Each structure stands twice: as structure tokens, then as C-alpha cells.
């Protein structure tokens, strides 16, 4: 069946797992869309996909049912096509969502609220919908025709064959879904071994091969090795041939994704000093297939950073962000490169500000890295402070700091430095009175606790800088 999956971008990974499982069952899924800004015209391709689909899956979450969400716009088109959702629309609850916020159209059918493995239960529900729909009628027509032409005995044989084929197909789908789950959980090596076994048993399974390709690309993106036990080359040499073999039959975004990851494979090999092709050549092939391919631009940027081509790298990161795909991956690449080298640390602050403005989430791990690599050293070092303060407009600097490090979340041992840094940013934003008050309170507490050292010296120095200049007059 043709299936359209509507979802919030927050659950893109879940949607991808569901798509792979459905593909393995022989269904065709439409999930590749970019989030449009409010007021943009609805993509004609999406409208056509909804008009042509047999089943419309709606992943219910607070984000997908929020007023103005893109998913609700898709649901409206589904409602225009089917007056009643029975047998056509499958709402799947993927996160706790108030019933009052769920559209009545969805509540007109039973909401699927998985109690176990969400992907497997959704797959079963889709199968039931297909069995209740057009498939039985089709089989009846075929069966009657075969009976008339071949007789009951021959028909029984054919029917048994079809049942056996169906059972094998379902078994392959279940095993493929299991391997996909392994890969998505981060057990890449175990998943790859499983895929190797499945491909050996089912060499012609198109969905199986696609799933293995996706797993290989994910493994390259999330690659980790233990020094002395494994190298990047060990993994690349397993994955690379599979991606190369997929290229002849790939077009558009799929081909672009493959080329980008092959470029990343060459990048990883070169980092270890192994023989490798030119990563940039693969990235160029990728953007020829899809000019805004997120993987090509993000990986190309990292490649350019290694060659100290900062301006070009930033341009590619901008293209990657603008693509609308895999935002978390792009951010991880931006922070991974900028926080690993002192000269690029200011860029990490710019990225954090962009994330604040876009309403994106920041992990605790990244907050800690930003604190130790950027804010603590640069705001505490007098020589570098002015350059650091110039990275962002003063008000944006202060707002980003408060967003990253709310006072309530600061570790007790970091509170004095946090108060000092916050006062520096207050002063930078023109809030001198507030900055002095915070520094004076900090100094009193430090003196009361008989604290000595750099924090005391810096606080006194900053207070002196902020003290009103006394004017002198002559008699």
C-alpha cells in the first residue's frame, strides 16, 4: 500500500524506523518533507502524495497537534479526501498528549496507544487495515478466476504457495525491523552482522538492502572506536563497498546521501593516514544530485575546518541548517568541530545563540562543554574578554548566557564564577548598576567565607573598572 506518515520533526528518527519497517513489508511510504514556515504555500507534491495514499498515519504528539503545526495542515488534506477516517487514517500516540488537544477527526477512530514496541504494533495495525480493505476483494477476484481456469486442486496449490511466500515475507520484515532497531540503538556492529546474515539468506530483498544502507550511513555518522582495539578504517572497509554498490540504482536525495557518506568515509580514512580518495570530490557529486543535501554540506564543512578554511566551512554549515533535515546532526557537527579547537570556539557561541532563537533544545553535555571551553575561560581571562564579548550583540550575549546556564542549574562549585561572568555580561549590555550590585554581593560573600585567589582578584578588578570616575576640581 501507499502510506503517508505525518509527524512532528521532533520524532523524525522514530518516523524513519517506522518507514523502514513498512518498506520491508512491501509498502511504499512518503515521509520526506521539509518543515515550511507559516504562510508558505503548501507543497503540491505533498498534496498529491496524500491524495494518492491508501493509508494516512498520524503520529500524535503535543508538537504535531499544536496550533499551526505542519502536521495539522497535512491532516486537513486527509480530512478533505476522506470524510470519515475509518479504515484510512491511523492515529498513533507517540508521546503523552492531552485528549482535548487531539482533533475530533482523529478521535473518530480508535487511537493506537502502543503498550510495547511502537513500530511493531503500528506495523500490525497497518496490516489489519490492509486485510480489511481492498486486499481481500482482490484476492477473491483472483481466486475465483484461478478456480475457474485451473480447478480447485490447482488453486489450492497456488494458494498454499502464496501463503508460504507471505509467511516468508513477514518473517523477513520482522528480522529486518529487528536489525534496524539494533542499529538505531547504537549497536552498529551487531546490527551490521545481522544484516550480513539476512542478505545472505534473502539476497533479493530490496527493502532489506535499503535498510542496510541506512544503517551503514548511520554507523559512519556515529562512528566511535577504541584506541588500540579498532580503527576507523576497520569500519569504513565494511560499510564502504555496500554504499558503492547501491549507487548505480540511486537517484536524487538517496544518491546524494550515499555520495556524502562516501566522502565522509574518505575523510575518516585520511584522518588516520590510510589511503583514501578526495572527500571534496564526493561532496561535490552529492550536491550535484541534491544542491542542499544536509550531509554533504555538514561533512564538507568539517573537512574544510581541518584545512583552516573557516569562512567556507561556515557557509556550508549555513546550507546544512537551511536544508531543514537532521538538525541535531548538523548541530553536533558544528559543536564537534568548534569546541575541539580554541580558534573556533567563538563560532560555538554563535551556534548556541542561533539555537536559542530557533527554540531548539540544548543537551546538558553540550552546556557543560560550552561552559568549560568558552564562557569560563574567556570571560575570566582579561586579555581575551573583549574579543569574546564582540562575538554577539550585547543583549544577545546576555540572553544566550541566561538560556544556557540558568542560575538554578549551575553546580555549586561554579556559582562564584557564574556570578562573575553574569556580571561581566550585564555590564557589557549596559546594565552597569546591576553588574556592580552583583559583584559587590559576590565580594562580600567571598570575604565572609575567607576565600582567596583569582576569583577575588578578578571581582575586585572588575568592580574598579565599573566604579564611577571621580572628577577633580581646582580651587
pLDDT digits (tens, 9 = 90+) for 307-352: 888 899 999 999 999 988 888 899 999 998 888 888 888 899 999 9
Output the pLDDT for position 171. 77
Exposed, middle or buried, 115 (CB in 10 Å: 0-12/13-18/19+)?
A: exposed
Whole-number Å distance between alpha carbons of 17 and 20: 5
Give which of 117, 90, 103 is closest to 27, Cα–Cα: 90
pLDDT digits (tens, 9 = 90+) for 280-294: 999 999 999 999 999
Output the pLDDT for position 469. 64
How many alpha carbons lie under 13 Å from residue 342 in its C-beta half-sphere? 3
pLDDT digits (tens, 9 = 90+) for 229-249: 788 889 999 999 999 999 888
- Contacts of residue 162, defined as CB under 8 A and 6 or more positions apart, other chains included, come to none
Output the pLDDT for position 300. 95
On the question of pLDDT at 465 being above 80, the answer is yes
Chain-wide mean pLDDT for the chain?
84
Long-range CB contacts (< 8 A, 24+ apart) of 467-472?
Answer: 467/436
Three-state secondary structure readout of the chain: CEEEEECCHHHHHHHHHHHHHHHHCCCEEECCCCCCCCCCCCCHHHHHHHHHCCEEEEEECCCCCCCCCHHHHHHHHHHHHCCCCCCCEEEEECCCCCHHHCCHHHHCCCCECCCCCHHHHHHHHHHHHHHHCHHHHHHHHHHHHHHHHHHHHHHHHHHHHHHHHHHHHHHHHHHHHHHHHHHHCCCHHHHHHHHHHHHHHCCCCHHHHHHHHHHHHHHHHCCCCCCCCCCHHHHHHHHHHHHHHHHHHCCHHHHHHHHHHHHHHHHHHHHCCCCCCCHHHHHHHHHHHCCCCHHHHHHHHHHHHCCCCHHHHHHHHHHHHHCCCCHHHHHHHHHHHHCCCHHHHHHHHHHHHHHHHHCCCCCHHHHHHHHHHHHHHHHHCHHHHHHHHCCCCHHHHHHHHHHHCCHHHCCHHHHHHHHHHHHHHHHHCCCHHHHHHHHHHHHHHHHHCCCCCHHHHHHHHHHHHHCCCCCCCCC
Question: Mean pLDDT across the stretch 440-452?
Answer: 88
pLDDT digits (tens, 9 = 90+) for 253-276: 899 999 999 999 999 988 888 888
Output the pLDDT for position 30. 84
Whole-number Å distance between alpha carbons of 142 and 61: 41
| Reported pTM | 0.66
On the question of pLDDT at 474 being above 60, the answer is no
Output the pLDDT for position 162. 63
On the question of pLDDT at 394 being above 50, the answer is yes
On the question of pLDDT at 150 being above 60, the answer is no
259-277 burial, b for 16+ CB within 10 Å, e for fewer?
Answer: bbbbbbbbbbbbeeeeebe
Domains and CATH numbers, the chain: 2-132 (3.40.50.10140), 353-475 (1.25.40)
pLDDT digits (tens, 9 = 90+) for 76-110: 999 999 989 998 999 999 999 999 999 999 999 88
Output the pLDDT for position 19. 85
Output the pLDDT for position 149. 54
* pLDDT band, very low/low/confident/very high, at 203 (cuts 50, 70, 90): confident
Amino acid at each position: 500500500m501507499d502510506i503517508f506518515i505525518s509527524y512532528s520533526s521532533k520524532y523524525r528518527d522514530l518516523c524513519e524506523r517506522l518507514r523502514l519497517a513498512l518498506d520491508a513489508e512491501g509498502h511504499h511510504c512518503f515521509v520526506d518533507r521539509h518543515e515550511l514556515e507559516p504562510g508558505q504555500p503548501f507543497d503540491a507534491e505533498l498534496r498529491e502524495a496524500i491524495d494518492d495514499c491508501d493509508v494516512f498515519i498520524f503520529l500524535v504528539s503535543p508538537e504535531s497537534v499544536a496550533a499551526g503545526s505542519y502536521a495539522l495542515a497535512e491532516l486537513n488534506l486527509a480530512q478533505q479526501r476522506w470524510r470519515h477516517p475509518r479504515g484510512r487514517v491511523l492515529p498513533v500516540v507517540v508521546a503523552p498528549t492531552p485528549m482535548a488537544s487531539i482533533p475530533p477527526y482523529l478521535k473518530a477512530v480508535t487511537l493506537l496507544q502502543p503498550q510495547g514496541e511502537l513500530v511493531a504494533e503500528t506495523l500490525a495495525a497497518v496490516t489489519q487495515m490492509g486485510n480489511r480493505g481492498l486486499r481481500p476483494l482482490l484476492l477473491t477476484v483472483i481466486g475465483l478466476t484461478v478456480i475457474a481456469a485451473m480447478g480447485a486442486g490447482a488453486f489450492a496449490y497456488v494458494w498454499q504457495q502464496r501463503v508460504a511466500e507471505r509467511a516468508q515475507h513477514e518473517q523477513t520484515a520482522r528480522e529486518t525491523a529487528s536489525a534496524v532497531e539494533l542499529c538505531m540503538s547504537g549497536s552498529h556492529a551487531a546490527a551490521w552482522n545481522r544484516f550480513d546474515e539476512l542478505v545472505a539468506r534473502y539476497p533479493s530483498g530490496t527493502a532489506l538492502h535499503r535498510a542496510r544502507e541506512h544503517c551503514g550511513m548511520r554507523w559512519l555518522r556515529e562512528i566511535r572506536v577504541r584506541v588500540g582495539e579498532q580503527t576507523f578504517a576497520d569500519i569504513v572497509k565494511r560499510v564502504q563497498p555496500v554504499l558503492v554498490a547501491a549507487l548505480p540504482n540511486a537517484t536524487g536525495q538517496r544518491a546524494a546521501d550515499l555520495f556524502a557518506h562516501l566522502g565522509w568515509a574518505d575523510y575518516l580514512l585520511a584522518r588516520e593516514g590510510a589511503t583514501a580518495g578526495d572527500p571534496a570530490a564526493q561532496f561535490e557529486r552529492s550536491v550535484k544530485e541534491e544542491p542542499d543535501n544536509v550531509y554533504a554540506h555538514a561533512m564538507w564543512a568539517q573537512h574544510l575546518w581541518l584545512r583552516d578554511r573557516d569562512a567556507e566551512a561556515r557557509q556550508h554549515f549555513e546550507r546544512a541548517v537551511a536544508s531543514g533535515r537532521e538538525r541535531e546532526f548538523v548541530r553536533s557537527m558544528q559543536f564537534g568541530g568548534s569546541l575541539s579547537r580554541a580558534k573556533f570556539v567563538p563560532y560555538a557561541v554563535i551556534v548556541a545563540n542561533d539555537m536559542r532563537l530557533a527554540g531548539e533544545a540544548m543537551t546538558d553535555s553540550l552546556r557543560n562543554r560550552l561552559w568549560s571551553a568558552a564562557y569560563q575561560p574567556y570571560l575570566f581571562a582579561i586579555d581575551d574578554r573583549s574579543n569574546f564579548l564582540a562575538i554577539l550583540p550585547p543583549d544577545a550575549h546576555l540572553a544566550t548566557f541566561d538560556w544556557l546556564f540558568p542560575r538554578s542549574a549551575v553546580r555549586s562549585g561554579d556559582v562564584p564564577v557564574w556570578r562573575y561572568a553574569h556580571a561581566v555580561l550585564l555590564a557589557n549590555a549596559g546594565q552597569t548598576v546591576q553588574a556592580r550590585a552583583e559583584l559587590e554581593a559576590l565580594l562580600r560573600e567571598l570575604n565572609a567565607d575567607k576565600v582567596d585567589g583569582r576569583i577575588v582578584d578578578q571581582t575586585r578588578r572588575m568592580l574598579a573598572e565599573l566604579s564611577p570616575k571621580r572628577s577633580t576640581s581646582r580651587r
